[in-house]
Amino acid sequence: MAYKVTVVTLFPDMFPGPLGVSITGRGLTEGKWALDVVDIRAFATDKHNKVDDTPYGGGAGMVMKADVVAGAIRKAKADNPKAKVLFMAPAGVPFKQKDAVRLSADDGVILLCGHYEGIDQRVLDALVDEEVSIGDYVLTGGEVPAMVITDAIVRQLGGVLGNAHTLHEESFDDGLLEYPHYTRPEVWEGEPVPEVLLTGHHANINKWRLTKAEERTAARRPDLMELYRKKTQE
């Protein structure tokens, strides 16, 4: 059975969107993974299909209703019963590469997309397994984060990438950012490819790549470099 991603959203027409092209799109067409979309609005309980209401205690904005969202999540769980439910939230735990790898080992995942000021906390407490964030910024809704997380997970699945070895040479796999890459032409606008890459000496190439990965990580992500140094010293 293919890995199943279920997106719970107010805007089902946004999917598959970018997930339907390139590597993820090919994997979807070839049945390496499956996509289901649950429309939250279909679970509204009044004639106006209302999905939100004013917050108790006052304040700006509207809050998505617990009963409506719960109905949508339970429908998703019925069709994808073993999947964890992740809520896309700016206040969530930062989503990392290790989470993509971890979740790809499951049978599927359910991604809940919020809007407005958020979702009634009671349904989050009752039905959501994890709240996750893709960065320290606020977006208009959870759909774009859901696409990002889906892409990160799906590319871990067997057969989705053409070369599985690529997965083990990427940024974050060993705690470092990835080393720089070069291809033809050998000289571009006066800038040559680093000579070591032309030698065919794999040990020297690997050593160069590690050095460059360490330099890039130290310059761009000193927080990761500190963790890497601690890990290599253990």
Are 118 and 188 found together in one domain? no
Are 227 and 137 found together in one domain? no
Are 202 and 129 found together in one domain? no
**Single pTM value for the model:** 0.90
What is the pLDDT averaged over residues 10-32? Answer: 98
With respect to residue 163, please indicate whether it lies within any of the assigned structural domains. Answer: no
The string of DSSP codes covering 9-65 is ES-GGGSSGGGGSHHHHHHHHTTSEEEEEEEGGGG--STT---EEPPTT--SS-EE-
The CA dihedral of 110, 116, 120, 124, to the nearest 10 degrees, is 20
Are 181 and 128 found together in one domain? no
Query: Which position has the higher pLDDT, 181 or 169?
Result: 181
Are 118 and 198 found together in one domain? no
The pLDDT of residue 195 is: 97
Q: What is the pLDDT of residues 176-231, one digit of tens each?
A: 999 999 999 999 999 999 999 999 999 999 999 999 999 999 999 999 999 999 98
With respect to residue 148, please indicate whether it lies within any of the assigned structural domains. Answer: yes
Residue 165 has pLDDT above 90, yes or no: no
Are 61 and 125 found together in one domain? yes
Are 134 and 90 found together in one domain? yes
- Here the contacts of 155-161 (C-beta below 8 Å, separation 24 or greater) are 155/23, 155/24, 155/100, 156/100, 156/101, 156/104, 157/3, 157/27, 157/32, 157/33, 157/104, 158/32, 159/27, 159/30, 159/32, 160/23, 160/24, 160/26, 160/27, 160/32, 160/33, 161/23
CATH number of the domain enclosing 111: 3.40.1280.10
Are 43 and 119 found together in one domain? yes
Q: Which helix (H) or strand (E) holds 87?
A: strand 84-94
Are 179 and 148 found together in one domain? no
Are 28 and 114 found together in one domain? yes
Q: Who contacts 9 (Cβ-Cβ below 8 Å, separation ≥6)?
A: 15, 37, 38, 39, 40, 113, 141, 142, 143, 146
By the 8 A CB rule, do 212 and 179 touch? yes
pLDDT level of residue 233 (50, 70, 90 thresholds):
confident
Residue 109 has pLDDT above 90, yes or no: yes
Are 202 and 147 found together in one domain? no
Q: What is the pLDDT of residues 36-64, one digit of tens each?
A: 999 999 999 999 999 999 999 999 899 99
CATH number of the domain enclosing 225: 1.10.1270.20
Domain count, the chain: 2
With respect to residue 45, please indicate whether it lies within any of the assigned structural domains. Answer: yes
Range of the domain at 181: 171-233
With respect to residue 161, please indicate whether it lies within any of the assigned structural domains. Answer: no
With respect to residue 160, please indicate whether it lies within any of the assigned structural domains. Answer: no
Cα separation, 142 vs 155, whole angstroms: 20
Are 120 and 179 found together in one domain? no
Last residue of a domain, one of 99, 129, 154: 154
Last residue of a domain, one of 121, 154, 187: 154
Q: Who contacts 231 (Cβ-Cβ below 8 Å, separation ≥6)?
A: 175
Q: What is the pLDDT of residues 75-96, one digit of tens each?
A: 999 999 999 999 999 999 999 9
**What are the φ and ψ backbone dihedral angles of 202, each rounded to 5 degrees?**
-65, -35
The pLDDT of residue 167 is: 57
Last residue of a domain, one of 95, 120, 154: 154
